[in-house]
Structure 1
Amino acid sequence: MPRIKSGIFIMPFHPPEKPIAQTYDEDMELVIRADELGFDEFWIGEH
């Protein structure tokens, strides 16, 4: 049976008072964790 691929999509809504570098690091932690869990794709909206 073919394997079903799975992915994650997030919108990068962060509090404006939070430093952009911190929000980037937090989003990258999600990407890394998703990869460790076996997800095939990770999409981040940008507009």
Structure 2
Amino acid sequence: MKKLNNECLLETYYKAVELHLESAFIRLLCREIKRRNLQIKKHDVSDLSA
């Protein structure tokens, strides 16, 4: 996780949520996002497909 830059981490999180991936994976991403003090923006699904 530490090698993933902030932008890629957030994109991965948004895509994981969009695709309804494993909740444990999404929690792992959330923990890392919080550890880095990043903000998760609430997007609708149309924003995620870009």
TM-score band by shorter chain is 0.3 to 0.5
Which structure carries more relative contact order (alpha carbon 8 Å, separation 6+)? 1
Structure (1/2) with the larger strand percentage: 1
- Is the radius of gyration larger for structure 1 or structure 2? 1
